[in-house]
Structure formats: C-alpha cells, structure tokens
Chains A and B, each alone.
Chain A
Amino acid sequence: MAWSHRNLLDVDVLTREDLETLLDQAMHMEDLMDRPVKKVPALRGKLVVNIFFEASTRTRVSFELAEKFLGADVVNWASSGSSVSKGETLRDTVWTLEAMGADAVVVRHSMPGVPWYLRDKLRRASVFNAGDGAHAHPTQALLDVYTAWRHLGSLEGKRIAIVGDILHSRVTRSDIIAFRTMGASLVCSGPRSLMPKDMGALGVEYEPDARRAVVGADAIYLLRIQMERQMAGLFPSEDEYHRLWGANEELVRRARPGALVMHPGPINRGVEIESRVADGPQSVILPQVKSGVATRMALLYLCMGGGEA
C-alpha cells in the first residue's frame, strides 16, 4: 500500500484499500490511548491550526487530542474575537496562519466548499475538513466506519439504517460514501420533508417507516434532530417525530440481534433516541467518541509525515 493523500476534504477520494490502511492504523492508535503515556513524538515540531467558524465541541476536542497525542503543536483559532470579526477575509487569515508556520489546517465552516478553497489558497499546509455546511464531514465517516468495523468485523454485505434528517446532514453524506466503499448497503428513513429529492443518486434506499427500515440492519444510526428544522415547519412536533422515528427498545428489537446503535452526538434524549437505547447494551455512542480520536490520529499521521518533495 502507498498512502498518497496529504489532505482530507471528503471521503470520496479514499479507496477501499486506503480505508483499510486507515482502519488498521487507527487500531494501533487506539491501543496507544490505553497506555499510561499517551503521547508519541511522531508529529513533533509540526504545527496544526484548528479554525472552527461554527460551534463544535467534540470534533474540535477530538482533533486537538489527536494532534497532541502525536506530539504536534496546536493552535486553536477562534473565529469570534479574532481578526475574522474585524473583517479579515478567510484567505488572508489562512495566509497569516501559514506565514506563522502552520503545517496543517483543520477547518469547520458553515459554507460548503470552504476546505477546498483553503486547499487551493495554501501553499504547503495540509487541509482537513472538520465539516463544511451540509456537505461533508469526512472524519465523522471515518470514525463511524471504524466503530462499526471494530464491532461487526468486515462490513462487506452489512446493512446500515440511518434514521433522521438526511437532507441537512453532512454526516450522512460522508457516511454513505464511506460505508458503501467498504461494501455495506444503506437504507435511510425519516420524514419525507427531510429527505433529499433523489435518494437513488446517493446509492441508498428510502423507507419512510422506520420500523420497516431497520429490519435486517446490523447497525442503526440515529441523527440529531435540530430544533430549528421544526421551527421551519419541516416536521410538526418533537413528540410526533419521536413517536414515528425515535429509537426505542421496540425499534431496536426489529433490527438484527445485537445490532449496533450509533449516533454522532450530541444526543437529544427523548427526541431521536430514548435514554434506554442510548445507554443500553447495544449502544456504541461512547466508543464512537474514542474512535474519533484514534481515527483522527491515524489520518494526521498518514497525511502529515514525510519531507518536502
């Protein structure tokens, strides 16, 4: 295998072999996280800048831990209270960061395509997409695939049911690509008003009834329901959503025995998932968090090594 990527903008550039390499490396990184000394000097002397233009706790902290465990120097560039709020353009901001010596930029932005724009503007730093609008969230897809793979083994022929707001979900978009690359099939469920127009183009099935969608599923992936979608009139009420698409024990029983329950977090208890399911024996929501650090370590390690050409 030869890892040939310096950036990760979306998972569509990763082949199955790339993903398998990354999963294998993430497994070793996870072992490292269980040691008394979690820090290794693999990225010693490298500077990583995290720029988050959108609120994020777990993704930002997860990236930051991954960077620190690999020994990199880390700068967190907050968009509020910085030069950005004084009217500096994004381009000038990243050029400034690169002039300070950044070797990598981790970016989250509400505008789709920003990571691609940065990749084109930066001369040498790697770019990692930590979520751009409703477009892509590649590292979430990596951690989801890793978590499922650790618990289910090979994903070839496995079935994943994703339930929730597919339309606004960058997580789903990247997850669909990554799970399909690994040979899994997917079915989406949720209110039709929260579905993209052409589900077939994504290569997934649509089953409006969640109880039918999860039949035969090896994993049920619940998406966070954002309250502002209800305000926008896309579904009538949280109660109704919960009744029709919320994950309760009965829904989980309809999937395969031992099916995984996954969620990207933060969870809305009592809306898309009941506490008894979120905290139940089939839930891997907390292992997903740990997987997030391990897969980001593997990604940073693979992309950021090497000297100048």
Chain B
Amino acid sequence: MNWKEKARVMESPDMARALKRMAHEIVERNKGLEGIVLVGIQRRGVPLASRLGALLEGFEGMRPAQGELDITLYRDDLSLRYSQPLVRRTDIPGGVTHRRVVLVDDVLYTGRTVRSALDALMDLGRPAGVQLAVLVDRGHRELPIHADYVGKNLPTSSSEVVEVRLQEVDGVDEVWICEKVEKVEEGPERPLMRFAREGE
C-alpha cells in the first residue's frame, strides 16, 4: 500500500493559531491550571503537549506538569497485526492520581488509541478527571469517545489518511490528507517473512 499526498490542510501559522486557542480553552474550562497534567500520547502527542505547555506558561505564568504515555501494550489490535509495534517510553512525573489529565494526541479517528490510553492511565493511578485535546479530529469514530479541545475538524473519507508532521519529529509543521494508491510494483510480501522459521 502506498500513500499519495492529496491536500495540505494546515501549515505552520494555522497550527500555531489552533494550539493557542486550545491552550486558552484549557485554561478557561479548568479555571486555571491547578492540578492539571498534560500527557502526550507517543509519538506526536508528546511534542504537541510540550507546545501547549509552553503556551499555557505564557498565558498563566505557570507551566503545567507534563508527561508522556505509550499505549502500545494496551492496543486492541495486537493479535491482528503482522508485526509488533515497538514500545516507547511512558513517564508521568508525579503520577496521575488526584490530578486532572489532559491527554494530547495528533489525530482523533476511530477512538481506539484513546480507549487504549484510558486503560493505560487507569493502571498508573486514579486521575480526578481526563480530558482530550487533539490537533485534528477526522471523524469515523468506532467508540463513544469525543475530544474536549480540537484544533481542526477535518471531514475525511475512510480511504484517506491524515498525516500530521511536526517540527520536532518530521522537521516541518504541516497537516496533509493523503490518499491510498494501489501499489503496482512487485515486491516480497514482508508480513509473511515473520513466519519463516529461523535457520530455514
């Protein structure tokens, strides 16, 4: 499967404005930043949480606590995938118990990642509440999950993917809609390789 870039829907200034608004909404809704911890979902949620943290510091004069959460071991599709996704770091200094967690991710789609993140959070402690901030909500939910703070609502078809690129990870701030194109060239079927037995 290959993906072709179809349309660029956000550029650096759009992203900055959206994040600024989301930061204001977080302060407004929580009446300040007391007890708030921003938790970025690996991988692009982590730099987004940092940016929100920096903006909040600018507005309120205090930087909220911040952590990172890896949801790999909580995914509901581990037994369906061909190869295992690699586990990344989970680290929430001070824990989540009695705090209001703002989960941060780049794209909200089926809601399954957020479901996994909620399970992972509950294993780390008992938060006083959990809110969800996403840069892009592209619809097509498969679970009853909604975001509290949304950078951009983006109607998409399910044959498309939304790709968020961030300076910290990808060297550029952009959001693209990409489209599936059928792969023509012949290649080895990589997924089957993991079932080849060693030494054969």
Contacts and interface: CB of A to CB of B under 8 A. Distances in A.
Interface of A: 1-7, 9, 13, 21, 24-25, 28-29, 31-32, 35-37, 39-43, 45-46, 70, 119, 301-302, 305-307, 309
Contacts of B123: 35, 37, 39-40
Specify the main secondary structure of chain B where it touches its partner.
loop
A32 B69 CA distance: 12
B194 A2 contact: yes
Counting from the closest, the 9 A-B pairs by CB-CB distance are A305-B84, A40-B73, A42-B73, A37-B123, A13-B198, A28-B87, A309-B195, A307-B80, A4-B194
Interface of B: 70, 72-75, 78-84, 86-91, 119, 123-125, 190-199
B119 A306 contact: no
Contacts of B191: 309
A46 B90 CA distance: 24
A306 B84 contact: yes
A281 B127 CA distance: 39
Contact of A7 (B81, B124, B198): B198
A114 B91 CA distance: 42
A31 B89 contact: yes
Contacts of A36: 124-125
Contacts of B74: 40-42
16 contacts: A4-B193, A25-B87, A28-B88, A35-B123, A40-B123, A42-B73, A42-B75, A42-B78, A119-B197, A301-B84, A301-B87, A305-B83, A306-B82, A306-B84, A307-B81, A309-B194
A28 B73 CA distance: 11
Nearest to A301: B84
A13 B199 contact: yes
A21 B73 CA distance: 16
B194 A3 contact: yes
A9 B82 CA distance: 21
A309 B83 CA distance: 10
B124 A37 contact: yes
Contact of A4 (B87, B124, B196): B196
A5 B89 CA distance: 23
B164 to A, nearest CB: 23
B87 to A, nearest CB: 4
A31 B197 contact: no
Nearest to B81: A306
Given A28-B70, A37-B124, A307-B81, A5 B198 contact: yes
Contacts of A28: 70, 87-90
A305 B78 contact: yes
Contact of A45 (B79, B87, B119): B79
A306 B87 contact: no
A70 B89 CA distance: 16
A41 B123 CA distance: 11
